[in-house]
Amino acid sequence: MSETKYCINCGKAIPTNATFCPFCGATQDKVASTENQNTITSEQHNTPNQPEHVNMWTALKLGMRQTFTWSQRITRPQYWWLYLDLVLISLVLTIVLGIRAYSYPAFILSPLHVNVLQTVLLLIFSALMVWTSVMQFTASARRLHDSNRSAHYLWFYLLPLVGPILIIVFLCQRSEPAGKRFDRLASQPKPWTHKWWTWCLLVLLTLGYAALINITARDTAMDAALTTTSKSAATNSDDSYSDSDSEESSDNTDSDSDSESDSDSDSITIGDDDIDIADQKAYSTSFTDSSWAKSTFKIDKVTVYKTDGTYTSGSGNDKKDFNGVVKVHMSIHAGQDISAYPTQAKLSTNDGQQVEADMDSDDFDGDLNSGTDSDGNVYFVLSKLSSVKDITSIRLKWDASYDTDDYDDDNAYKTFDTTLNLN
């Protein structure tokens, strides 16, 4: 019985000395010059190289070394040990870095805001996840080669439900000697870590993965803000009811008609947190600005709260303690299409504190169409507040803009800057 080899293109058995395949016509590798060489080559290519003892560590080392290797083969034990390694690594990365990466956006483009620590964490998490994903993908291609199947079978992943099941079945098949036809391009002059294009591909995939996570985190934060808005509206309604009852039943009226005490409200809600209140004071204000873009910005009420104890906001480097809150109620009438961002305002107080608006402020700003009205509360947390009477004036700055094709229109961007005296 004549010896056979396998076609490097179709994988069918053909005579050892054949120079082309009688089935598909593909030209074959040159036949070894001696029978000895032919036997050695056949033995070397019947099965992919593997260590004597396949375990999690040897499989992981092989996977890292062959991250960008497509043409070789990987045995069934090597593949599934590597699969277990990557699942455990991904789980640890998600718990240690992923949960925080998805918690809130690392950067916002409009207006530009970058959290450096969150951005670094996001990029590290994305790079590691991309690396493990590429390692898993190429290992699947090599496992299919070992079962004498082309990597094009991975396209089955696009078939809903049925496709992934078929791929799993293929990945569980035994090694086939005919799979050696995929080893014809196995030699690599240098490892993937020494090739510029592999690093470029990893960087591009990392940036894309990081952008996707950032968009998801931003959408989650926006959904949380909408939930906060509804809760804040309900809280404001309860506060107003309490204020009217307090005014009707009060025996002593403050001589200053522009200020009132709201001490009968025990707590306020900021985001998902209920803040217990020890004391509070509300001030009626009459700020109105109609000088820009046919639009009107009004601030009619400022409330200063002294918390009952110390609370914490933010996390990581943004984490800080506070015992005071300033709530500013603002309404906007858009005379034309505008973008306004009072919920990203900066506030400074007469006692030297400067803070940015809390992320859990009401969601009432952003892009506003012409003729629309919007109003809500902007919250600022103060790290030190001995008494609500200590705050006698505040200064607010926020930005607004509108789109225009006139490059000479210096009025397209506006920074509002106002000082309110609380008395």
At 110-128, the pLDDT tens digits run 677 888 888 999 999 999 9
Reference 143, options 166, 170, 164; nearest CA is 170
Q: Is the pLDDT of residue 191 over 60?
A: yes
363-380 pLDDT, tens digit each: 999 999 999 999 999 999
Residue 409: per-residue pLDDT = 82
274-294 pLDDT, tens digit each: 899 999 999 999 999 999 999
Residue with the two structure tokens 């820009």: 292
Q: What band does 258 get if pLDDT is binned at 50, 70 and 90?
A: very low
Q: Is the pLDDT of residue 408 over 90?
A: no
Averaged pLDDT for residues 335-355:
93
Reference 343, options 404, 270, 393, 420; nearest CA is 270
Query: What average pLDDT does the structure give for the chain?
Result: 81
Q: What are phi and psi of 411, to 5 degrees?
A: -90, 0
Q: Strands 113-114, 107-108: parallel, antiparallel or unpaired by DSSP? A: antiparallel
* Cα 167 to Cα 156: distance, rounded to the nearest angstrom: 7
Q: Report whether 380 contacts 325 (CB < 8 A).
A: yes
Query: Mean pLDDT highest for which of 57-66, 222-231, 244-253?
Result: 57-66
Residue 369: per-residue pLDDT = 93
58-82 pLDDT, tens digit each: 889 988 988 888 888 888 899 999 9
Residue 199: per-residue pLDDT = 92
Residue 108: per-residue pLDDT = 81
Averaged pLDDT for residues 102-110:
81
* Cα 230 to Cα 269: distance, rounded to the nearest angstrom: 11
Handedness of CA 371, 377, 380, 386 (dihedral sign): positive
Residue 342: per-residue pLDDT = 94
Averaged pLDDT for residues 339-349:
94
Least confident range from 106-120, 196-210, 373-387: namely 106-120
Local structure of residue 413 (DSSP, 8 states): E
Q: Is the pLDDT of residue 264 over 70?
A: no
Residue 262: per-residue pLDDT = 42
Q: Report whether 338 contacts 371 (CB < 8 A).
A: no
Residue 39: per-residue pLDDT = 39
Q: Which of the two residues, 297 and 410, has the higher pLDDT score?
A: 297
E strand segments, 365-410: 366-368, 373-382, 393-401
Q: Is the pLDDT of residue 383 over 70?
A: yes
Q: Is the pLDDT of residue 32 over 50?
A: no
Q: What band does 382 get if pLDDT is binned at 50, 70 and 90?
A: very high
Residue 25: per-residue pLDDT = 67
* Cα 176 to Cα 169: distance, rounded to the nearest angstrom: 15
Averaged pLDDT for residues 76-92:
93
Residue 91: per-residue pLDDT = 95
Q: Is the pLDDT of residue 33 over 50?
A: no
Local structure of residue 385 (DSSP, 8 states): -
Residue 349: per-residue pLDDT = 94
Q: What band does 42 get if pLDDT is binned at 50, 70 and 90?
A: very low
